């Protein structure tokens, strides 16, 4: 049975960055949990991450990213590139089925097992089954509202939760 779940959204706007995740965990077409925490702070609370995909795989990636952040003194870009290289080439890691978004004061990055380290052009990144809905809503809100990054995250996540059956409105938002 394929595990499908979640929406993770990062918004960089008006000098702040917010990262949000919903709480739903689905197994097939059954909701297994309503209040999972998919958003986590790393490296002395200076980096916020969120994941979509297999939970155990994501926790492995969190640990690896934390190690890389320690190794590179909190440099998120360098740590992410090194993680992506290892993730793509390591026999064990390349089988992990998860994606991450990681943000700090300077960068918002999407990391994947394909070796991707993507920084958004317009300050908005999203992953997960509800990601396209949240991203579209966030981009519209950035362009056409006076809301700050946290409020945009909350509103866009609510919109995604109303559209995507694998996303709920039990939303956790962390900001820098």
Helices (H), 98-170: 131-144, 149-163
The catalytic position among 6, 7, 49, 167 is: 6
Q: Angle CA(104)–CA(49)–CA(172) in degrees, nearest 5?
A: 110
Active site residue 6: yes
160/85 Cα distance (integer angstroms) = 32
Cβ neighbours of residue 136 closer than 8 Å, sequence gap 6 or more? none
The CA-based dihedral angle spanning residues 118, 121, 123, 124, taken in that order and rounded to the nearest 10 degrees: -70
Q: What are phi and psi of 19, to 5 degrees?
A: -130, 130
| Enzyme catalytic residues | 6
């Amino acid at each position: 049975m394929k595990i499908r779940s979640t929406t993770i959204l990062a918004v960089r706007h008006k000098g702040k960055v917010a990262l949000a995740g919903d709480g739903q965990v689905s197994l097939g077409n059954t909701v297994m949990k309503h209040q999972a925490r998919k958003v986590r702070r790393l490296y002395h609370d200076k980096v916020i991450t969120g994941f979509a995909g297999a939970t155990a795989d994501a926790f492995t990636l969190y640990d690896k990213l934390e190690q890389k952040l320690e190794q590179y003194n909190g440099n998120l870009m360098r740590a992410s590139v090194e993680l992506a290289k290892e993730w793509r080439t390591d026999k064990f890691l390349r089988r992990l089925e998860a994606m991450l978004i990681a943000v700090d004061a300077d960068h918002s990055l999407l990391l994947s097992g394909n070796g991707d380290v993507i920084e958004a052009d317009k300050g908005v990144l999203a992953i997960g089954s509800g990601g396209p809905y949240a991203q579209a809503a966030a981009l519209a809100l950035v362009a056409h509202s006076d809301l700050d990054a946290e409020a945009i995250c909350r509103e866009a996540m609510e919109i995604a939760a109303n559209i995507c059956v694998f996303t709920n409105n039990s939303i956790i938002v962390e900001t820098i």
